[in-house]
């Protein structure tokens, strides 16, 4: 049996598709390597234009950088339903807490629980997560500096 599988990943800049072929005959089944589809010249040109615009923004004052929509995480945060759902729930709880004049039974039950243990576990996992995230950032920063060095090497030839 011969089966083709399309694997596509879409970025805001380009669409990358790979194809893999599964060949199966009884117990012997294998997957051939994927073939990548690269962006064409027009897409590369638009990506490079946007990249250069973002690069020029680095010289602007901090408050001006915060005003840009493209090239930042603001678009992802503003369109994320989880962020808005959490914010609406929080606002709803705060409004409800300010409207009622009595302490609900659920809050009285929370006073009897030991939140310190939960806070300790949460702090432990947050430290691990932040450490891993910082490690990834430093690795990517090293890659970008190495890329910058290679560009300087080529420019110096």
Give per-residue pLDDT as tens, 91-150. Answer: 998 998 889 888 778 777 777 777 778 888 889 999 999 999 999 999 999 999 999 899
Is residue 146 classed as helix, strand or coil in its secondary structure?
helix
Both tokens assigned to 95: 């409004």
Q: What is the rounded CA–CA span in Å between residue 18 and residue 32? A: 11
C-alpha dihedral, 121 to 125 to 126 to 129, nearest 10°: 180
Strands 15-25, 28-31: pairing is antiparallel
Is residue 31 classed as helix, strand or coil in its secondary structure?
strand
Question: Would you place residue 74 in the very low, low, confident or very high pLDDT band (cuts 50, 70, 90)?
Answer: confident
pTM: predicted TM-score of the whole model, two decimal places? 0.42
Q: What is the rounded CA–CA span in Å between residue 62 and residue 70? A: 15
- Of the candidates 42, 59, 62, the residue with the CA atom closest to the CA atom of residue 50: 42
């Amino acid at each position: 049996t011969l089966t083709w599988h399309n694997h596509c990943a879409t970025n805001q800049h380009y669409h990358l598709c790979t194809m893999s072929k599964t060949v199966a005959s009884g117990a012997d089944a294998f997957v051939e390597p994927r073939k990548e589809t690269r962006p064409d010249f027009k897409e590369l040109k638009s990506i490079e234009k946007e990249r250069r615009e973002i690069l020029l923004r680095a010289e602007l004052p901090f408050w001006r950088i915060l005003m840009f929509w493209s090239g930042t995480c603001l678009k992802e945060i503003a369109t994320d339903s989880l962020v808005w759902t959490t914010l609406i729930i929080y606002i709803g709880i705060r409004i409800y807490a300010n409207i009622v004049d009595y302490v609900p039974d659920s809050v009285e039950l929370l006073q009897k629980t030991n939140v310190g243990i939960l806070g300790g576990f949460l702090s432990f996992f947050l430290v691990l997560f932040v450490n891993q995230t910082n490690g990834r950032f430093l690795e990517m920063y090293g890659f970008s500096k190495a890329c910058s060095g290679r560009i300087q090497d080529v420019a110096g030839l």
